Amino acid sequence: GQITLTMIKPFAVKQHNVGQILSDIEKAGFHIRALKMTQLPAEKAEIFYAEHRERSFFPQLIEFMSSGPVVVAMLQKDNAVADFRQLIGSTDPSEAAEGTIRRKYAKDKTRNAIHGSDSDDSAVRESRFFFSSMEEFVY
């Protein structure tokens, strides 16, 4: 799989960490195929995170993810999904390795700075959720 989908989450956007996070992503060798800023209405966030709807943290996750703008990007690299999850670090920033994006920019398990797809199938589904073919570029 060459594609993964990322979202810089509301807290990191509000902290003005977008530029530094995109820089970290490009320096790690990811090619930005598509990019936008948008805000998810709760109903859209519920669809994006539907796999978690029975979890206790789901209402908090949806409230947070719809609380402000996110920066969404489709990224290309060999082994994109696994390499990107290594770059961002553990879900809980207190467990994230030194130098990872979550270690550097996350506040806690909800305000954890960034999303990364968990599989090639998720990457395709999430990319179609946000982008049309006219918004995707290889350059």
Give the contact letters, 90-119, x = binds to ligand GTP (CB under 6 A), - = no: -x-----------------xx-x--xx-x-
Residue 115 bears catalytic tag: yes
> Which residue number is nearest to Mg ion in terms of Cβ?
118
Alpha-carbon span 102 to 137, nearest angstrom: 27
Active-site position among 16, 31, 52, 115: 115
CB 73 within 8 A of CB 115: no
- Please give the angle made by the CA atoms of 108, 111 and 112, to the nearest 5 degrees: 75
Q: Decide: is 118 part of the binding site for Mg ion (CB under 5 A).
A: yes
Alpha-carbon span 13 to 137, nearest angstrom: 24
Question: How many chain residues bind ligand GTP (CB under 6 A)?
Answer: 11
CB 45 within 8 A of CB 62: yes
Alpha-carbon span 67 to 119, nearest angstrom: 26
Q: Which of residues 60-89 bind ligand GTP (CB under 6 A)?
A: 60-61
Catalytic residues: 115
Binding-site residue set = 9, 57, 85, 91, 102, 112
Binding site for ligand GTP (CB under 6 A): 52, 57, 60-61, 91, 109-110, 112, 115-116, 118
Binding-site residue set for ATP = 9, 57, 85, 91, 102, 112
